[in-house]
Amino acid sequence: MNPANISTQKLDTIILQSLFAILNSNKVKYCIVNNYENLPEFIPSDVDIAIEPTSFKNIDTFIAEIAKKHDVKIVQKIWHGYQKCAYILSPSCIDERFRLQLDFFTDFSARGYPYLITHEQLLRERRPFKSFFIPSPDVEALMLFMRRVIKNDIKTSHIMRMKFLYEMNPEDIEKTMLICLGQKAWKNITVLMTTGDAQIFNKNIKSYQRTLKFRSMKTATFFYLLKYIGSQILRAFNRLLYPVGICVVFLGPDGSGKSTIAKLVLERVSGSFHGSKIMYWRPNLLPMMGHLKLWAPTDDIVVNPDPHGHPKQGMMKSYVRFFYYLTDYILGYVLKVYWSKVHKQIIIFDRYYYDYLVDLHRYRFNVPSWLPRFFLPLVPTPDIIVYLDADPDVLEARKQELPKKELIRQVGEYRKLISVLSKSHKINSNVPIETIVRRISTIVLETKARQTAKTIGPHLKYGHPSTYEEK
């Protein structure tokens, strides 16, 4: 099935239906724990799926089968804890933002609460609903309340949902709440459902959190806690070693459309990441050197309408500025860019250190051209380098900031540079902007999918997106 022939609003429904079919045909015990009323036709948020431990180890295979069937990519696999992970799926070629995240877990736990509801309790009295299964009302109500306590946030819609579930099966819900939370908490919950006053919840939040902490430690065995803590340490190590975010650099002369295209690409692929950042030129861990002048600090300049309108600075000052900003590239990448990747974000650079190899004058550096090349190996390499190539005549027509002779020189230098840089992609920016955005979005999603495949297993294969690499 070719996703290009399907509206992306419907593709997520089709994928979810396939997931239910595979789980049902394999007789897997599972249930969708919340926000299931309009599934699979409408998916309001991430899909939370409780699953039996014996089937948890087979999820990679199930998801890979679905991805192959519908020609989509497993863009992300994100471990959230002990037997708790998420998959983000997407077509590689998309015309609009697409997001489908499937969260699987066995026992219900959260950070600081390692064992709140066992998988036996979650699945014991699950009910069929449409083409999938949902938890019993008492389990859903309990989990809903626990989540609001953990997040320290409750809305009227949550209270109304708890009241609705209670009216479905009051005896079982009261029994479950009393066993799991105690008499005092249950009394407050009944008042909460009766009045709808969220302040009752807020006033007792600390007491609720202590109750959950106690239950978590009481439920978890010593060996379970060892496995839980070990998995958290391993998860942190793997997240540092294999960050789930990605860094993309856009290069090109003035007039190539870097800023506009970068924003459109970011909007297009943002559904496959948890947050985004756009950085100009460098990580900006260190302030502009002009800010360090106590007597007359200067502001950052993001838009430079006259790149060569200012003379180069003195040699000594140029050397100081060069090494100052080189430090920012090295330390800033580690402390800002890489850390953002660890936190599942996509980071896009509008220009990067590579600009030094093409146009030192723009940055008013009075240093030899070999200097930035000499220190290039110290500069962290992004995951993707996109060079927007265009004819000098087209660039001159779009922006009259540089003379045509300089544009011809820069285009030639960029082309030579891109031919030797790894992870680089040369994109023709003379074509319609929608074509460019679609091509680059495909590169981003397929690159991230290949990175993810390395951490999952050999049964997931992804080819290089050479269709859009025009070296």
pTM: 0.89
For the domain made up of 245-468, give the CATH fold: Rossmann fold (3.40.50)
Contact predicate 156/53, CB 8 Å: no
Note the pLDDT of residue 250. 98
Note the pLDDT of residue 432. 94
Note the pLDDT of residue 304. 63
Q: Which residues of 319-334 are buried (b: 16+ CB within 10 A; e: fewer)?
A: eebbeebbebbbebbe
Reference 442, options 389, 388, 391, 386; nearest CA is 386
Compute the distance between CA of residue 141 and CA of residue 158 in angstroms, rounded to an integer.
10
Contact predicate 401/263, CB 8 Å: no
Compute the distance between CA of residue 265 and CA of residue 268 in angstroms, rounded to an integer.
5
Residue 425 backbone phi and psi in degrees, to 5:
-140, 125
Compute the distance between CA of residue 60 and CA of residue 135 in angstroms, rounded to an integer.
23
Compute the distance between CA of residue 208 and CA of residue 369 in angstroms, rounded to an integer.
64
Note the pLDDT of residue 471. 33
Domain 3-135+204-238 -> CATH class: alpha beta
Domain boundaries, the chain: 3-135+204-238, 245-468
Q: Which residues of 37-49 are buried (b: 16+ CB within 10 A; e: fewer)?
A: eebbeebeeebbb
Please give the chain's pLDDT, 471 residues, in tens.
Answer: 444 444 545 899 999 999 999 999 999 999 999 999 999 999 988 999 999 999 999 999 999 999 999 999 999 999 988 899 999 999 999 999 999 999 999 999 998 898 999 999 999 999 999 999 999 999 999 999 999 999 999 999 999 999 999 999 999 999 999 999 999 999 999 999 999 999 999 999 999 999 999 999 888 888 988 988 888 898 889 889 999 999 999 999 999 999 999 999 999 999 999 999 999 999 999 998 877 766 666 655 555 667 787 888 899 999 999 999 999 999 999 999 999 999 999 999 999 999 999 999 999 999 999 999 999 999 999 999 999 999 999 998 888 888 899 999 999 999 999 999 999 999 999 999 999 999 999 999 999 999 999 888 644 444 333 333 333
